[in-house]
Amino acid sequence: MGCDGGTIPKRHELVKGPRKVEKVDKNAELVAQWYYCTLSQEKLSRPIVACELGRLYNKDAIIEFLLNKSSDKVLVKAAAHIKSIKNVIELNLTDNPAWTGDKGNTKGDKYDDIQSARFICPVVGLEMNGRHRFCFLRNCGCVFSERALREIKTETCHKCGIPFQDDDVIVLNGTKEDVEVLKRRMEERRLKSKLGKKSKKSKAAETIVKPDTKEDLPGPSQVNTEKDATTINSGEKRNIAFCKGSADNESALSLSERGSNKNASGPPKRSIANSEEKSEAYKSIFTSHSSAKRSKEESSNWITHTAYYF
């Protein structure tokens, strides 16, 4: 059997087999990772930030995402680990002097060189185009090639001189293994920060409570003064009780003496009104005087500002 023209088709032309797995173009993948924002899919423009997993973002896109989180699952998944602006670090990048940008490609008649990049390593001079592994320091945000950090071993940044440790080095756009290691470090770091905040809060609460308890407790000087006051008060009470007891005893003695004097036989007492030794003025004080026995008509009224006569 043949088709028109005497051609004989083969089996692979008539029978459709399984589809081949489409391979992602490596160049396109590198361009998407190193030249475009992971969140907004726009071209990277300063200020450029990176997360703790080594992905590149535009700072404006991160701020918009934090202020208004969209319902797009792809975007939420790409930035799900970013809870605040503190979770990203602004990168200190070094410009490539040979970078011309899109100035000569306005008409589309120029070949785009993927090898050329906008930024380079300040130590070795390698271009940050995805062909070489790059990393940044979490403390200062300076970006270097992994070759520079491996060959020139130091504990301070090559660009700004800030000290760093091995855990502070974050690989940009690393492999799956690199991302897993960075994710583990990120979780440990956040857990430590939470524990540190809790300990600080507990310490602050203790410092607030301690002064109040100290104010309630009396000091040594107050204790001494209180003791002195109690001793003085007790002494005064004892003196008062002693004086009262002595006064009661004296009064009891005087009463007993009076009773004994009454019972004792002696000369009868004369009234003061009949005594010739006292003056009339002194006698007029007592009710036995004749002036106290006057009638109301004979006695004078008290004169006040508003006198009432009854």
Give domain limits for the chain.
24-99+114-173, 175-215
pTM of the model: 0.57
Which tokens go with 67? 């202020």
Task: Please tell me the predicted confidence (pLDDT) of residue 307.
Answer: 54
Residue for token digits 């995805």? Answer: 130
Residue from 52, 107, 113 nearest 83 by CA = 52
Contact present, 25 and 145 (Cβ < 8 Å):
no
Phi and psi for 273 in degrees, rounded to 5? -65, -30
Provide CB contacts within 8 A for 158, sequence distance 6+: 122, 123, 142, 144, 148, 152
Strand segments (E) across the chain? 48-51, 56-58, 88-90, 94-95, 119-120, 134-137, 143-145, 169-171
Kindly state the DSSP code that residue 16 receives in the 8-state scheme: -
Q: 289: buried, middle or exposed (CB in 10 Å: 19+, 13-18, 0-12)?
A: middle
Residue from 143, 170, 173, 168 nearest 32 by CA = 173
Residue for token digits 């979770």? Answer: 87
CATH class of 24-99+114-173: alpha beta
Which tokens go with 261? 């004097």
**What is the C-alpha to C-alpha distance for residues 227 and 229, in angstroms, rounded to an integer?**
5
Per-residue pLDDT of the chain in tens (310 residues, 90 and over written 9): 555 667 788 887 888 777 777 777 888 888 888 999 998 889 999 999 999 999 999 999 999 888 887 656 666 777 888 989 999 999 999 999 888 776 555 555 565 666 678 899 999 889 998 889 999 999 999 999 999 988 888 889 988 889 998 889 999 999 999 999 999 999 998 898 888 888 887 877 777 766 554 445 455 555 455 555 555 455 555 554 444 455 455 554 454 455 444 444 455 566 776 777 777 777 777 777 676 666 666 655 555 555 555 4
Phi and psi for 22 in degrees, rounded to 5? -75, 125
Contact present, 35 and 43 (Cβ < 8 Å):
yes
Q: Look at strands 48-51 and 88-90 and give their pairing.
A: antiparallel
**What is the C-alpha to C-alpha distance for residues 239 and 179, in angstroms, rounded to an integer?**
89
